[in-house]
């Protein structure tokens, strides 16, 4: 059942086999798999529950109802970067673009070699991907509804010899309404709010909405439940309390909230990696003034890609902005702003996504668990690749006949032709001169690995420190992925559901319990010794 706070007579205190915090790309599949396996599952979701009838094409409504911080969560640093996150049933999948890509081979190899994750085999992942693609109706975007904006870019990239194509998406019979980021009004997009969560509920799971988990209950080194509170959907004020006792706790609150929760609960911190290792795939966007009407925002916002430069860590993917959003992203005010907005029907757009090499980010505890602080600095190499991606997009737009290309680089806001293009390509940029950057894929802040001193979770996604506490979201991805991450998060969640199932099936007898406690004591002893070694300078290399 989906349970709203207004339907509850008072505080909630109950038991379950599994309690899952968050209902997005990680939490949704875990809840479904385990509910369908016959376990009693409770999902706690901070955001509200909405259906397709609630999605009304209005960006401002969507930002306030479906996103954390009205979509303006910022990673502080040089430059400051907006990192929007969903806060609703379905998590960020409810507002994402629906692109479903598998992990690139070289990235998985890096996980094997650098993070000791050899047991996450390519064959196993491929089986999980295939099952998910079938379940989510993943197929290439239909050119009929791909949108002129995306088609123009792909066509002219192809004429320049750059490889690309139509993106695989989880939108069944997509009608190209162009508003994926505001909730799909046709119900085509198979985000967790229309796929995993309804199926979990059909199998008996309960989903508490407008409910924020605060405390992870731990006894004798083992997770035993979650405590939290409901909020008034209108005022945000705290209302009833909730306490769920469970055999397994799954933390799937996303790569920014999950480490914050661990920090505020003071658990799993001994490796020193909680909150560290943040990557986000920084994104740049270009706008292009075309000689013909482009038809934005109609058509799938992200239907095509150019992957010619993926080996360099640059992916180009479609993006469209409705007028209200373009209005706030333009770098001008006054008459210039009004004139550009008047040109809206002729303005095309496309985006780039950088897979990080030398940028560094982290999440640290803020004044409350709800308000962590996120820091991120773009590295020199990544800045150069961001500039290159903008030049590549400009090249393609000019090849398509653009009169002008607008960029997010101070001093080069408008490129009018080859001379400006050359000027930008020769410029050595400062980090402070790029503005208006955004990023949609925070990852890595509770990374997975084979070394308990260099990672937060094992390859099963169970934390090294607290037994029966699993983390299942973007925070476990150990490196920048280079492609949109939702399918990989879902695949890992399904894999983890298998381990949880095994664990619950073999609940220990009293004798085994005593052995477990002995093992725990031994582990804590060796952890203490390792901490002492690290303090004395013999630290494990990072
Ligand atoms: C606009 C946009 C477009 C995107 N497009 C794509 C795309 O096309 N393809 C792709 O692969 N990826 C895309 N992404 C990224 C993708 O959606 C995310 O990487 C993915 O959803 C992350 O999954 P998650 O489980 O880590 O977190 P989420 O899906 O964000 O789920 C976390 C959930 O936990 C809840 N939560 C947090 N803290 C608490 C708490 N204390 N108590 C209770 N609940 C809590 C949140 O409210 C949220 O609902 C996009 C992202 C954005 C913002
Ligand atoms: S383009 Fe429209 S119909 Fe298609 S998935 Fe996005 S919002 Fe839904």
The model's pLDDT over 174-199, given as tens digits with 9 standing for 90+, comes to 999 889 999 999 999 999 999 999 99
Name the pLDDT band for 505 (thresholds 50, 70, 90).
Answer: confident
Structure confidence at residue 519 (pLDDT)? 47
What does pLDDT average to over the chain? 92
Please state the atom number of ligand 2 nearest to the C-alpha of residue 187: 8
Question: Per DSSP, what are the bridge partners of residue 99?
Answer: 169
Residues contacting 402, CB < 8 A, separation 6+: 288, 289, 290, 348, 394
Question: Is 441 tagged catalytic?
Answer: yes
Sign of CA dihedral 162, 168, 171, 174: positive
Name the pLDDT band for 538 (thresholds 50, 70, 90).
Answer: very low
Please state the atom number of ligand 1 nearest to the C-alpha of residue 473: 26
- Report the separation in Å between the CA atom of 56 and the middle of ligand 1, taken as the mean of its atom positions: 21
* DSSP-derived 3-state class of residue 467: strand
* DSSP-derived 3-state class of residue 319: coil
Tell me: pLDDT of 433 over 80: yes
Question: What would the two tokens of residue 115 be?
Answer: 């993070």
CA nearest neighbour of 168 among 30, 317, 309: 317
| 181 close to ligand 1 (CB < 6 Angstrom) | yes
Structure confidence at residue 520 (pLDDT)? 40
Q: Give the pLDDT confidence of 354-364 residue by residue, as tens digits.
A: 999 999 999 99
Q: Which residue has the tokens 């029907």?
A: 345
Distance between CA atoms of residues 21 and 210, nearest Å: 12
| 95 close to ligand 1 (CB < 6 Angstrom) | yes
- Write down the domain spans for the chain: 2-135+184-278+441-505, 282-354+379-433, 511-542
Distance between CA atoms of residues 494 and 330, nearest Å: 41
| 23 close to ligand 1 (CB < 6 Angstrom) | yes
Structure confidence at residue 24 (pLDDT)? 98
Question: What would the two tokens of residue 238 be?
Answer: 């705290």
Q: How far apart are the first and last CA of the chain?
A: 44
- Report the separation in Å between the CA atom of 510 and the middle of ligand 1, taken as the mean of its atom positions: 40
Distance between CA atoms of residues 30 and 39, nearest Å: 11
Domain 2-135+184-278+441-505 indexed as CATH 3.10.450.50: no
- Report the separation in Å between the CA atom of 280 and the middle of ligand 1, taken as the mean of its atom positions: 12
Whether the CB-CB separation of 29 and 497 falls below 8 Å is answered with yes
Residues contacting 190, CB < 8 A, separation 6+: 98, 135, 136, 137, 170, 171, 172
Q: Which of 19, 21, 25, 66 is the pocket-test mutation for ligand 1 (most atoms within 8 Å of CB)?
A: 25
Q: Which of 66, 176, 297 is the pocket-test mutation for ligand 2 (most atoms within 8 Å of CB)?
A: 176
- Report the separation in Å between the CA atom of 202 and the middle of ligand 2, taken as the mean of its atom positions: 25
- Report the separation in Å between the CA atom of 35 and the middle of ligand 1, taken as the mean of its atom positions: 21
The ligand with the least distance to the CA atom of 258 is 1
Structure confidence at residue 532 (pLDDT)? 56
By CB atoms closer than 10 A (0-12, 13-18, 19+), residue 28 is buried
Structure confidence at residue 56 (pLDDT)? 81
Whether the CB-CB separation of 28 and 195 falls below 8 Å is answered with yes
Q: Give the pLDDT confidence of 59-102 residue by residue, as tens digits.
A: 889 999 999 999 999 999 999 999 999 999 999 999 999 999 99
Name the pLDDT band for 368 (thresholds 50, 70, 90).
Answer: confident
| 100 close to ligand 2 (CB < 6 Angstrom) | no
| 477 close to ligand 1 (CB < 6 Angstrom) | no
Q: Give the pLDDT confidence of 247-262 residue by residue, as tens digits.
A: 999 999 999 999 999 9
Q: Give the pLDDT confidence of 18-72 residue by residue, as tens digits.
A: 999 999 999 999 999 999 999 999 999 999 999 999 998 888 899 999 999 999 9
Residues contacting 137, CB < 8 A, separation 6+: 170, 171, 172, 190
Structure confidence at residue 540 (pLDDT)? 37
Residues contacting 348, CB < 8 A, separation 6+: 149, 152, 153, 287, 288, 290, 294, 296, 397, 400, 402
- Report the separation in Å between the CA atom of 25 and the middle of ligand 1, taken as the mean of its atom positions: 6
| 314 close to ligand 2 (CB < 6 Angstrom) | no
How far is residue 188 from each of residues 75, 138, 173, 177, measured CA to CA in Å?
Answer: 32, 11, 6, 10
Whether the CB-CB separation of 230 and 30 falls below 8 Å is answered with no
Tell me: pLDDT of 372 over 80: yes
| 96 close to ligand 1 (CB < 6 Angstrom) | yes
Structure confidence at residue 537 (pLDDT)? 52
């Amino acid at each position: 059942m989906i349970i709203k706070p207004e339907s509850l007579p008072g505080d909630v205190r109950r038991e379950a086999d599994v309690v899952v915090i968050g209902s997005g790309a990680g939490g949704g599949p875990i809840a479904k798999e385990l509910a369908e396996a016959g376990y009693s599952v409770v999902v706690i979701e901070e955001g509200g529950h909405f259906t397709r009838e609630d999605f009304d094409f209005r960006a401002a409504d969507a930002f306030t109802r479906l996103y954390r911080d009205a979509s303006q969560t910022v990673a502080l640093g040089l430059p400051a970067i907006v990192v929007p996150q969903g806060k609703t049933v379905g998590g960020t999948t409810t507002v994402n673009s629906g692109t479903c890509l598998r992990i690139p081979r070289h990235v998985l190899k890096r996980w094997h070699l650098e993070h000791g994750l050899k047991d996450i085999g390519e064959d196993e992942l491929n089986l999980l991907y295939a099952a998910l693609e079938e379940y989510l109706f993943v197929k290439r975007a239909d050119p009929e509804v791909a949108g002129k904006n995306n088609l123009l870019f792909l066509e002219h990239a192809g004429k320049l010899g750059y490889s690309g194509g139509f993106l695989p998406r989880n939108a069944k019979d997509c009608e190209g309404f162009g508003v994926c980021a505001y909730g799909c009004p046709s119900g085509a997009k198979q985000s967790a709010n229309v796929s995993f969560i309804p199926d979990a509920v059909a199998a008996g799971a309960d989903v508490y909405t407008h409910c924020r988990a605060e405390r992870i209950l731990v006894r004798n080194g083992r997770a035993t439940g979650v405590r939290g509170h409901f909020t008034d959907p209108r005022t945000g004020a705290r209302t009833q309390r909730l306490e769920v006792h469970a055999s397994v706790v799954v933390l799937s609150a996303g790569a920014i909230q999950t480490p914050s929760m661990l920090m505020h609960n003071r658990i799993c911190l001994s490796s020193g990696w909680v909150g560290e290792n943040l990557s986000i795939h920084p994104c740049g966007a270009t706008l292009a003034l075309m000689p013909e009407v482009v038809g934005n925002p109609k058509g799938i916002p992200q239907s095509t890609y150019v992957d010619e430069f993926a080996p360099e860590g640059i992916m180009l993917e479609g993006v469209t902005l409705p007028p209200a959003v373009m209005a706030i992203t333009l770098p001008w005010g006054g008459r210039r702003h009004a004139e550009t907005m008047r040109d809206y029907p002729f303005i095309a757009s496309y985006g780039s996504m950088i897979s990080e090499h030398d940028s560094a980010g982290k999440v640290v505890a803020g004044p409350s668990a709800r308000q962590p602080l996120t820091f991120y600095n773009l590295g020199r190499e990544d800045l150069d690749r961001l500039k290159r991606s903008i030049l590549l997009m400009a090249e393609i737009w000019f090849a398509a006949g653009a009169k002008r290309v607008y960029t997010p680089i101070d001093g080069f806001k408008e490129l009018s032709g080859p001379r400006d293009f050359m000027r930008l390509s020769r410029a050595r940029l400062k980090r402070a001169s790029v503005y208006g950057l955004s990023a949609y894929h925070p990852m890595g802040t509770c990374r997975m690995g084979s070394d308990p001193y260099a990672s937060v979770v094992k390859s099963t996604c169970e934390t090294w420190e607290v037994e029966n506490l699993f983390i299942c979201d973007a925070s476990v991805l150990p490196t920048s992925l280079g492609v949109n991450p939702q399918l990989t998060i879902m695949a890992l969640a399904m894999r983890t559901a298998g381990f949880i199932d095994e664990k619950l099936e073999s609940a220990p007898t009293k004798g085994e319990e005593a052995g477990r406690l002995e093992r725990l004591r031994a582990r804590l002893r060796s952890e203490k010794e390792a901490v002492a070694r690290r303090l004395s300078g013999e630290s494990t290399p990072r």
